Structure 1
Amino acid sequence: MFSCRKAFLTLGLIAVTGYVSAQATGMYPGIGRNATPKEVAAWDIDVRPDFKGLPKGSGTVAKGQDVWEAKCAQCHGIFGESNEVFNPLVGGTTAEDVKSGRVAKLKDPDGGRTTFMKVASLSTVWDYINRAMPWTAPKSLSTDEVYSVTAFLLNLAGVVPDNFTLSDKNIGEVQARMPNRNGMQTRHAMWPGNEFGGTKRPDTANVACMKNCATEPTVASFLPDFARDAHGNLQEQNRIVGPQRGADTSKPEGKSAATGTTTPVAVAQATTAAKPAAASDAAAPDGKAALALATKSGCTVCHGVSNKIVGPAFSDVAKKYAGKPDYLAGKIKSGGSGLWGPIPMPPQTLSDADAKTIAAWLATGSVK
């Protein structure tokens, strides 16, 4: 009986294997269809270090400055130097670095790091701008705008002159002037094969612990209020490199050092569940429709309904600005920073009607 069952299972496995093999050749009767060349092209946008995949186009430094100031400076600063949201993009490179292809400042253990100090391949810069920027509307830049913004950054980094036009025809020549083009290490066995002149021996010798391993430590203490300022404000003592600033220990947790006002976390804890009369009297909009509109407009990239992501949670905004739909609609359209921390919210491009719908949803406290 066991042998008979085993034989049937074997036959079944062979049949399934044959079926899967047939499916792998594209034989899915009545299920789906092959992607069209246009659909494949829409996804196939990667640009290799040898610039294969780079679309035809061009852009000037001057046009790049216009696009930058309109769509990029709000997060990266007018000159790519901002350290508020992300690390600085430009700075720390010299004319000598452009000649040698190795950024000397990278040897300084105490120096800051910028993107153009580290990046070796210009294709990385072009590809990332093309697929991910601006942060609030990825892939919204035209091909020529991507060339223009890249040219502007190259100009800020001292790689190309003010009157330069970057294109698919000369980008390889510009690659030969990247400040850290010779600073990338390839002999680390991170890629298979020898196409990068690598080695099959990893550059680490870690061994996984299999017995008598150390247990994960459990943190059972915290910094009490009376000890927070024992060594001054830790936030002010950190290097101003990178978006991490450290804890502000000049005030008890939950307070702002600059104003002494309660932070969003404390506001959420201290606010009662009761809605103000102005909010309760207003007709609550359709919450699902408003949330769907906020998602479509890109708001949920930075805001969670009940949790902070980059910006505050919708629920915290609703509590703080209950009964103020006009104010919220204005802030959605104009953007700003400083109310919920140093990270700015860029101006949003949605219509006035959509902004008012989202604002009314927040102002009536109907966020769920």
Structure 2
Amino acid sequence: MSSWPKALVAAVAAFGCAWAAAQGGGFPGIGRAATPKELAAWDIDVRPDFKGLPPGSGSVERGQEVWEAKCASCHGVFGESGEVFNPLVGGTTKADVERGRVARLTDPGYPGRTSMMKLSQVSSLWDYIHRAMPWNNPKSLSADEVYATTAYLLHLGEVLPADFVLSDRNIAEVQKRLPNRDGMTTKHGLWPGKELGGTGKPDVQGSSCMKDCSAEPRLASFLPDFARDAHGNLAEQNRAVGAQRGADTRRAGDPPAPAPAPAATKADTTEAAASLALLGKHNCTACHAVDGKLVGPALRDVAKKHAGRPDAVDYLAGKIRSGGSGTWGAIPMPAQTLPEADARAIARWLAAGAPQR
């Protein structure tokens, strides 16, 4: 078996050379080479050694402004909210900053886990905010805004002082202050190869005998005859959309199931469908559901609150564009930048009761 790894490496190398040659030659009439600008647009990752980090800077104070405008609606004003996502901040101490390992990660009396407790690389935090936030408009933050937001989060975690300005020039020093900077290890079998610090051995040892195996069980479900109609005909209790269809559980001699209600006409559904499409287009559904509370209130509850108000359309369109907080709780709604016509269309739909068809 000693020759097997060498043969595998040789085969992989040969395949790689063939692939590279094919890519270099290209395929006539298919595609084109990516331009440097296109490559740069995709090449945005930031490595733990901070290669790929763009120049820029941002203060904790500026980060608070960005946070309250674009982040607090999901994560809370202080990063503590667990209503939508896990809390980002909490569970770390100044002693952890000095030690480099979060003590509460091994404390059975503190089962909570926040992002700051687990974070071992500040580059991971910067990179994730840059490529994925805010949730309803990823990649919309400038590099300076990402620096500022990162600085604000680290300030909330007692890593940076309130007057700190984070930049590409001092971020490596900030890495040395992360509470869990020494919490990541490669000393396990999941990490590939001893040359990268791994053990080279799998965490679990075992072998497959593949003999004396039991017969593969056959699983099935059925409804006993005595219970077939215990809760009515299942075929009549499923939604008319999707692939799920309930079995016809009527007893012999029962009348046939009623025909489904006729679908709404195109005229009935056009305005509601257009409004629902606008909700998706402008990412309103990231924080609002029609019938249930998500981050913000259910849109149908908003409609009920303002039902019968003579100026409902003007009022709701203004609230959509200006944002606000306090009416439905402490989580603020940022100001929205959608066109006036779209805001009024959504407002008319809300004033009509938020119909779905």
TM range (shorter): 0.5 to 0.7
CA displacement, residues 124-174 of structure 1 (integer Å, 9 cap, x when unaligned): 111111111111211111100100111111112121222111111111111
Residue 309 and residue 41 in structure 1: after superposition, are their counterparts in 2 closer, same or farther (change >3 A)? farther
The aligned runs of 1:208-287 (5 Å cut-off) are: 211-212=213-214, 286=271
Residue 356 of structure 1 pairs with residue 355 of structure 2: no
Structure 1 residue aligned with 2:65: 66
Structure 1 residue aligned with 2:114: 114
Residue 294 of structure 1 pairs with residue 282 of structure 2: no
CA displacement, residues 242-277 of structure 1 (integer Å, 9 cap, x when unaligned): xxxxxxxxxxxxxxxxxxxxxxxxxxxxxxx99xxx
3-state secondary structure, aligned to 1:25: helix
Partner letter of residue 153 of structure 2? L
**Contact kept in structure 2, 1:318 and 1:367, CA below 8 Å:** no
Number of corresponding residues? 289
Residue 167 and residue 318 in structure 1: after superposition, are their counterparts in 2 closer, same or farther (change >3 A)? closer
The aligned runs of 1:117-156 (5 Å cut-off) are: 117-156=117-156
Deviation at 1:200, TM superposition (A): 2.1
**Contact kept in structure 2, 1:321 and 1:328, CA below 8 Å:** no
Q: TM-score, normalised by structure 2?
A: 0.66
The 1-side partners of 2:19 and 2:172 are apart by 45
The 1-side partners of 2:197 and 2:68 are apart by 41
Partner letter of residue 278 of structure 2? L
**Contact kept in structure 2, 1:51 and 1:123, CA below 8 Å:** yes
3-state secondary structure, aligned to 2:67: helix
CA displacement, residues 212-237 of structure 1 (integer Å, 9 cap, x when unaligned): 4688898x9xxxxxxxxxxxxxxxxx
**Contact kept in structure 2, 1:102 and 1:180, CA below 8 Å:** yes
The aligned runs of 1:6-85 (5 Å cut-off) are: 24-85=23-84
Structure 1 residue aligned with 2:197: 197
Partner letter of residue 68 of structure 1? W
**Contact kept in structure 2, 1:81 and 1:88, CA below 8 Å:** yes
Deviation at 1:352, TM superposition (A): 3.2
**Contact kept in structure 2, 1:102 and 1:183, CA below 8 Å:** yes
Structure 2 residue aligned with 1:234: none
Partner letter of residue 348 of structure 1? Q
The sequence identity of aligned pairs, in percent, is 58
Q: TM-score, normalised by structure 1?
A: 0.64
**Contact kept in structure 1, 2:72 and 2:331, CA below 8 Å:** no
CA RMSD in angstroms, aligned pairs only:
4.3
3-state secondary structure, aligned to 2:58: strand
Residue 180 and residue 296 in structure 1: after superposition, are their counterparts in 2 closer, same or farther (change >3 A)? same
Residue 184 and residue 208 in structure 1: after superposition, are their counterparts in 2 closer, same or farther (change >3 A)? farther
Partner letter of residue 146 of structure 1? V
Structure 2 residue aligned with 1:104: 103
The 2-side partners of 1:202 and 1:216 are apart by 34
Runs of 4+ in 1 over 6 A off after TM superposition: 19-22, 206-210, 213-218, 303-314, 316-325, 335-339, 341-345
